[in-house]
Amino acid sequence: MEHIFSFERLWKVIPQLTPYIGISIRIVLYGLVLGSLLGMVVAVIRIKRIPVIHQILSVYISFMRGTSMLVQMMLIYYGLPMLLLAVGIDINSWDKMTFVYMTFILNEGAFLGELFRAAIESVPAEQTEAGYSVGLTGAQTFLRIVLPQAVKTAIPGYGVDVIGMFQNTSIAFTLGVVDLIGRAKTIGTAMGHELEAYVYVAFLYIVVSILFRILFHWIDKRYSFGREGVAG
């Protein structure tokens, strides 16, 4: 057998594969932006303990926590069209990417919802009372006193979550989406050698993950003002 790894082939796959990182980034952006919005709704409902919805959300969060994203994605991909067909909406022609986005948004909604809830609840009740005592309304107290403190608490967890989400984008290829791994597979088949493409994919994931980590470390430092004295 000839060499299973050659740098010649590695150089050849680099320009072919690199643009596909964009698909993973796009999934992360969708999951981050829409997932955060969903997470905020989830957090508010859970904190206010709105009956019925609160219980439904507990089950939703438990499900998202207890099953892998791969299972969730398959369930949404095969289950949602069937569910919607029953009420007369046909989504069978939708792009596969839409289902990937949905999975990430729903999954992130649960995880970020819990993260936000924990962060908001970590702000001592006296802070809210202090807001009321100087005559602020409920919304003003939340926006000006509680939220800025909660955001600081949430940042490290948020960073870990985003990196995790970025790595989870590697499951998208199982639906047949041509992302990094999907493209690596087709290139590998065409060349007769898959290893170089996969090694490069792993390398790209490492680099982007580390960049994300540096970014969040910087954000965390940037917004930790006023905390040093308290942390002690």
Partner 1 sequence: MGFEYDNFLDSLSYGIRYLPVTAKLAFTALFVGIIVGLVVAVVRHYKIPVLSQFLAVFVTIYQGIPTMAALLVYNLLFSSLIGDIINALHLKVAVRDVDNIVVGYVALSLFSVVSISETFRGAFMSVNKVQFEAGYSVGMTKLQTLRRIIIPQVIPVAIPGLINNMVGIIKGTSLVSAIGIMEVMNASIIPCSRTYSFVEGYAAAALIYWMFTLVLETIAKRIEIWSKRFRKELA
Contact between 79 and partner 1 by CB under 8 A: the answer reads yes
Provide, rounded to whole angstroms, the least separation between the CB of residue 156 and partner 1: 12
Provide, rounded to whole angstroms, the least separation between the CB of residue 175 and partner 1: 11
From residue 118 to residue 147, the character string flagging contacts with partner 1 as x (rule: CB under 8 A) and all else as - is ------------------------------
In degrees, rounded to 5, the angle at the alpha carbon of residue 39 between the alpha carbons of residues 44 and 223 is: 95
Contact between 103 and partner 1 by CB under 8 A: the answer reads no
Among 60, 63, 94, 142, binds partner 1 (CB under 8 A): 63
Among 181, 182, 187, 216, binds partner 1 (CB under 8 A): 181
Provide, rounded to whole angstroms, the least separation between the CB of residue 114 and partner 1: 12
* Cα 215 from Cα 32, distance rounded (Å): 15
Residues binding partner 1: number (CB under 8 A): 37
Provide, rounded to whole angstroms, the least separation between the CB of residue 225 and partner 1: 23
Provide, rounded to whole angstroms, the least separation between the CB of residue 219 and partner 1: 19
**Residue span binding partner 1 (CB under 8 A) among the ranges 130-138, 144-152, 168-176, 221-229:** 168-176
Residues 6+ apart with CB under 8 A from 227: 152
Contact between 33 and partner 1 by CB under 8 A: the answer reads no
Q: Please report the sign of the dihedral spanned by the C-alpha atoms of residue 148, residue 153, residue 156, residue 160.
A: negative
Among 27, 43, 61, 69, binds partner 1 (CB under 8 A): 69
* Cα 144 from Cα 136, distance rounded (Å): 9
Among 14, 47, 56, 71, binds partner 1 (CB under 8 A): 71
Residues 6+ apart with CB under 8 A from 159: 212, 213, 215, 216, 217, 219, 220
Where along the sequence are the contacts to partner 1 (CB under 8 A)?
1, 4, 62-63, 65-72, 74-75, 78-79, 82, 86, 167-171, 174, 181, 194-195, 198-199, 201-202, 205-210
